[in-house]
Chain A
Amino acid sequence: MGKKLLLEHINVPGIETLEVYRQKGGYASVEKALKTMTPNDVVEEVKKSGLRGRGGAGFPTGMKWSFLYKPEGVERYLVCNADESEPGTFKDRFLMEHIPHSLIEGMITSSFALGAKTSYIYIRGEYFYVARILEKAIDEAYAAGLLGKNILGTDFSHDCYVQVGAGAYICGEETALLESLEGKRGNPRIKPPFPAIAGLYGCPTVVNNVETIATVCPIINMGGEEYAKIGIGRSTGTKLISASGHINKPGTYEIELGLPVEEFIYSEEYCGGIINGNKLKAVVAGGSSVPVLPAHLILKTEKGEPRLMSYESLSEGGFVSGSMLGSGGFIVYDETTSIVKNLYTFARFYHHESCGQCSPCREGTGWMEKILHRIVEGHGKPSDIDLLWDIQRKIEGNTICPLGDAAAWPVASAIRHFRAEFEEYINHPEKIKDIKHYYSVHQLAGA
């Protein structure tokens, strides 16, 4: 069994309630931080822990915190990014749904470190029922004196609110999230200024992912140095991985960073192998935005070393033969999967979610979807593959926010690793109707 920090008590009945959560040591980090540490101490521990943002970018959290601008008399905000919308990712929902207090605890401890009197949890609108779970937890925390005025009898006062979104992937981008939180369209802001200088309502703001904030609790409890001993190299600690696709045991797993990918896919403790004993074809390791890798490159790097679940190992080989850990949305495809059709669902997704502000993304995502649609419908042209390649290359890097890159990378990697499959679709459209694109519901129900 790997080390568990966030999901250690996941099977304890009633862990969603404050009472049970506290019995299991919950809110210890609030006690410790507020009563025995200064805000700066907390930031230092997080720095020492080597914690990196769990939302996808992997930016060191302690460093992000230390960038926060702290002018006298200006409010500062902590905003939790619970807009989990990256296809393949559902770990934050799992955590919030089952152990909501771990997030609330993290919000209080982190807000103390940052000097934020108010914090908001921005959760995607579809997770309305999870928002309700969080609000219940918040109410419990207020009643227990863990939120509100003079928390646990200290000078620190804090209010925490939940805000629901209304269906927009782009609101997972931190500045779009802030716009949405201000009651506007989720259009990413043009940076600089960064939120650390001018974020919510123009005030200095830190935006962190749910898992990142929840992880602050074990870090404060065990100390940053101890935490840094878990994991591998610069990938410290544990990470929640959302596993889906053609595996026997889809779900959310907490892994110690550095776990071999092969073990993750095939061991009974995690994914439990591929359904029907099929062969592995490809994996999207960190949510739809990261490059898809064929089986031989996900299990081993180009150099032949075992690929590990860590920021460094998954990106080993750059985009030529590597990918990214991203948000930990781990989608497994078996030998039956059509990579082309799967890519089409991604292209459709990015087209649907483009905010429309900047021209390369607004126009390019729609163009890519149309071409892919033509290909999967059997009307592809031989020039389409090169055209797709060219379009994605021209979107990448030229947009306001990373959605452009996120739309481009899956296309680039699918063509890079599975070009023959595209050619098959284009050269032999008569065969498409015979390609079994996906499992029927009944096939799976039997599996």
Chain B
Amino acid sequence: MSKEIKFNEETLALVHKLMNRYPEGKHKSALLPILHIAQAEFDGWLSPATMDYVASILKIQSIEVYEVASFYSMYNLKPVGKCLLEVCRTSSCWVRGAEDVVKHLEKRLGIKEGETTADGMFTIKTVECLGSCGSAPLLQCGASYHENLTFEKVDALIETYRAEGKRKSYTDLDYKNTL
């Protein structure tokens, strides 16, 4: 599973394009988007080696990357399943049954919130407001929002993802053409 921590040329070109959006000497600004890309490229999480690599690209101290990566909730500092199911649980989602969705997922996948299935396919995570209160309850997986959830929708989603067997990242949706 482990591969060399190095972007391929295409990704590296994208990274440099991102860096050039910021004025000379301010390339550190690109850190957040680059970490998203690194997370997507290197198994869905940011290992110390991945973060050191990002630091070397931006020519900054590794600790500056660790500080940032550990601050934001979308960066995984430990390995997660291929599909990280992030269920919103703040007020509007809670009043419309978010706790049921979590319980259903737990029962269905045989794991608790925060755990990963034995096959490494799914991780359940509860998160705070995702900004989709009007279509509550919802869960996010990769770049996709799955809204107005019912148990049937959740079941269908799990089946689809399991059949696909692919890792879902925030940067999916062909980001290389647009970012």
Q: Find out whether A and B make contact in their complex, taking CB atoms under 8 A apart as touching.
A: yes
A contacts, CB < 8 Å to B: 75, 84-90, 93, 118, 124-129, 132, 135-136, 139, 161, 163-169, 180-186, 201, 242-246, 250-252, 284, 288, 329, 331, 333, 337, 341-342, 345-346, 348-349, 352-353, 355, 437-445
Is there an interface contact between B29 and A348, defined as CB atoms closer than 8 Å? no
Check B31–A167 contact: CB distance below 8 A: no
Q: Is the CB of B95 within 8 A of A185?
A: no
Residue of B at shortest CB range from A185?
B71
A100 CB to closest chain B CB (Å) equals 12
Instruction: Check A167–B72 contact: CB distance below 8 A.
Output: yes
**Contact of A126 with B131 in the complex, beta carbons under 8 Å:** yes
Q: In the assembled complex, how far is the CB of residue B99 from the closest CB belonging to chain A, in whole angstroms? A: 7
The reply to whether B95 and A329 form a contact with Cβ atoms under 8 Å apart is no
- Size bracket of the B interface: 35 or more
- B156: chain A residues at CB < 8 Å are none
Cβ-defined partner of B94 (8 Å) among A93, A169, A184, A438: A438
Q: How far is the CA of A186 from the CA of B71 in the complex (A)?
A: 8
Chain A contacts for B82, CB-based, 8 A: none
Is B100 within 8 A of A440, CB to CB?
A: yes
- A127 with B131: CB separation less than 8 A: yes
| Given A166-B75, A168-B73, A185 contacting B68 (CB threshold 8 A) | yes
> Chain B nearest CB: distance from A295 CB in Å?
15
In this assembly, does B28 line the interface, its C-beta being within 8 Å of a C-beta of chain A? yes
**Given A93-B132, A163-B33, A129 contacting B72 (CB threshold 8 A):** no
Other CB < 8 Å A-B pairs besides A90-B131, A128-B143, A244-B92, 5 of them? Answer: A75-B23, A129-B143, A167-B74, A182-B29, A342-B91
Q: For A167, list chain B residues within 8 Å (CB).
A: 72-75, 127
Interface string of B131-170 (1 = CB under 8 A from A): 1111111001001110001110000000000000000001
Q: Tell me whether A348 and B100 are in contact in the complex, defined as CB-CB below 8 angstroms, given that A125-B170, A136-B178 are known contacts.
A: no
Known contacts A166-B36, A182-B29, A185-B68; A342/B95 CB under 8 A: yes
Residues of A within 8 A of B90 (CB): 87, 288, 345-346, 348-349
Is B178 a contact of A139 with CB atoms below 8 Å? yes
Contacts of B47 on A, CB cut-off 8 Å? none
- Give the complex CA separation of A166 and B99 in angstroms: 24
CB-defined A-B contacts under 8 Å, sample of 29: A75-B23, A86-B129, A87-B91, A88-B92, A89-B131, A118-B23, A129-B144, A139-B178, A163-B32, A166-B72, A168-B71, A183-B29, A183-B31, A183-B58, A184-B64, A184-B68, A243-B134, A244-B92, A244-B133, A245-B92, A331-B91, A337-B95, A345-B89, A348-B128, A355-B71, A438-B94, A439-B96, A442-B150, A442-B151
| B35, B89, B90: residue with the most chain A Cβ atoms closer than 10 Å | B90
Q: By the criterion CB–CB under 8 Å, are A342 and B150 in contact?
A: no
Q: Which residues of A contact B145 (CB under 8 A)?
A: 129
Q: Are A166 and B74 in contact (CB under 8 A)?
A: yes
B77 proximal to A (CB < 8 A): no
A-B contact count (CB 8 A): 185
Residues in chain A near residue B143, CB distance under 8 A: 128-129, 132
Specify which chain B residues have a CB less than 8 angstroms from the CB of A345 in the assembled complex: 89-91, 94
Interface string of B60-83 (1 = CB under 8 A from A): 000010011001111100000000
Contacts of B26 in A (CB 8 A): 182, 201
- Pick the contact of B128: A184, A186, A352 (CB < 8 A): A352
Query: For B68, B75, B127, B134, which residue has the most chain A Cβ atoms within 10 angstroms?
Result: B134
Evaluate contact between A441 and B101: CB separation under 8 angstroms: yes
User: B45-68: which have CB < 8 Å to A?
Assistant: 58, 64, 67-68
Residues of A within 8 A of B128 (CB): 87, 169, 348-349, 352-353
Do the beta carbons of A163 and B29 come within 8 Å of each other? yes
Docked Cα-Cα span, A186 to B58, in Å, equals 19
B-chain residues with CB within 8 Å of residue A349 when the two chains form the complex: 90-91, 128-129
Contact A440 B97 (CB under 8 A): yes
B16 within 8 A of A: no
* A residues less than 8 Å from B135 (CB atoms): 250
Check A164/B71 contact, CB under 8 A, given A89-B131, A442-B150, A442-B151: no
B173 CB–A CB distance under 8 Å: yes
Q: In the complex, what's the smallest C-beta–C-beta distance from B126 to chain A, in angstroms?
A: 10
Q: Which of B23, B96, B130, B175 meets A201, CB within 8 Å?
A: B23
A337–B104 alpha-carbon span in the complex (Å): 21
Determine which residue in B129, B136, B149 has the highest number of CB atoms from chain A within 10 A of its CB, and name it: B129
Closest 9 CB pairs of A and B: A183-B31, A166-B72, A167-B73, A244-B133, A167-B74, A183-B28, A250-B134, A87-B129, A441-B97
When chains A and B are docked, how far (Å) is the Cα of A242 from the Cα of B135?
11
Q: B1 in the interface, Cβ–Cβ < 8 Å?
A: no
Q: Which residue of B lies closest to A134 (CB)?
A: B178
Beta-carbon nearest neighbor of A284 in chain B: B91
Q: How far is the CB of A338 from chain B (nearest CB, A)?
A: 9
What are the residues of chain B within 8 A of A180 when measuring CB–CB?
Answer: 32
**A355: chain B residues within 8 A (beta carbon):** 71
Q: In the complex, what distance in Å separates the CA atom of A329 from the CA atom of B175?
A: 30
Closest Cβ–Cβ distance, residue B50 to chain A (whole Å): 15
| Contacting residue for A251 out of B23, B68, B134, CB 8 A | B134
Q: How far is the CA of A167 from the CA of B125 in the complex (A)?
A: 14
- Least CB distance from A82 to B in Å reads 10
In the complex, the chain B residue whose C-beta lies closest to that of A92 is B131
Q: Which residue of A lies closest to B150 (CB)?
A: A445
In the docked arrangement, what's the CA distance between A180 and B29, Å?
Answer: 8
